[in-house]
């Protein structure tokens, strides 16, 4: 009997990450323990008005995930299931902050499974400390001059301050 090579678990954590928050970073940290390789994938969505370009978000993410050796950063446009297939991923990782997130994410998970029956979605509950944090809320507070330290990594806070000051 020959030994089977160990299977590699590859997960995709998709999002707009505009900007990345400590809630995202918490999910990345926890998700990196569930997969041999975690790909944080920035969605290129022309319908959304973004504060940061895709390249800027990828650059910030690449810097803040540096402590996680099995995490890489990419970007995609189009259907997530196509990106999952192209990257050879086993599952999609998503975070849930509240019931409203669950209802939306459940619809997306079912659609993804319909489009690609082998694609599974794994939900992680947001850590209590970040259950209210969203990129939109962080941008709004920062644009009004509020303090967002503790809600985003310091590097992101610097970029936010310089961007909203313009």
Kindly list the averaged pLDDT for each block of 10 residues, start to end, along the chain of length 166: 69 97 97 97 87 96 98 97 96 93 94 95 95 94 94 96 83
Catalytic residue among 16, 32, 50, 135: 135
Among 16, 24, 50, 139, the one annotated catalytic: 24
What CA–CA distance (Å, rounded) separates 63 from 92? 22
Neighbours of 71 (CB within 10 A): 22
So what's the pLDDT on residue 49? 85
In contact, 25 and 43? CB cutoff 8 Å: no
pLDDT at 6: 60
Q: Where are the domains of the chain?
A: 10-131
Annotation says 135 is catalytic: yes
- pLDDT on residue 99: 87
pLDDT of residue 147: 95
Nearest alpha carbon to residue 20 among 164, 148, 165, 124: 148
Known catalytic residue: 48? yes
Residue 97 designated active-site: yes
Q: Give yes or no for a contact between 85 and 116, defined as CB atoms under 8 angstroms apart.
A: yes
Choosing from 30, 97, 113, 163, the catalytic residue is: 97
Instruction: Identify the active-site residue in 48, 66, 100, 149.
Output: 48
CATH of 10-131, one of 3.40.50.620, 3.30.390.50, 3.40.309.10, 3.40.1390.30: 3.40.50.620
Res 4: pLDDT: 54
**Quick check: pTM over 0.75?**
yes
């Amino acid at each position: 009997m020959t030994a089977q090579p160990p299977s590699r678990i590859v997960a995709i954590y998709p999002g707009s990450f505009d900007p990345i928050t400590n809630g995202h970073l918490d999910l990345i940290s926890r998700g990196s323990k569930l997969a041999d390789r975690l790909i944080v994938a920035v969605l290129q969505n022309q319908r959304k008005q973004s504060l940061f370009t895709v390249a800027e978000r990828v650059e910030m993410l690449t810097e803040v995930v540096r402590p996680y050796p099995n995490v890489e950063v990419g970007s995609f446009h189009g259907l997530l299931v196509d990106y999952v297939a192209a990257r050879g991923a086993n599952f999609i990782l998503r975070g849930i902050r509240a019931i409203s997130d669950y209802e939306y994410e459940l619809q997306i998970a079912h659609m993804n499974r319909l489009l690609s029956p082998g694609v599974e979605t794994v939900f992680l509950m947001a850590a209590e400390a970040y259950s209210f944090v969203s990129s939109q809320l962080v941008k709004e507070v920062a644009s009004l001059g509020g303090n967002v330290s503790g809600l985003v990594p310091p590097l992101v806070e610097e970029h936010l301050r310089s961007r909203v000051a313009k």
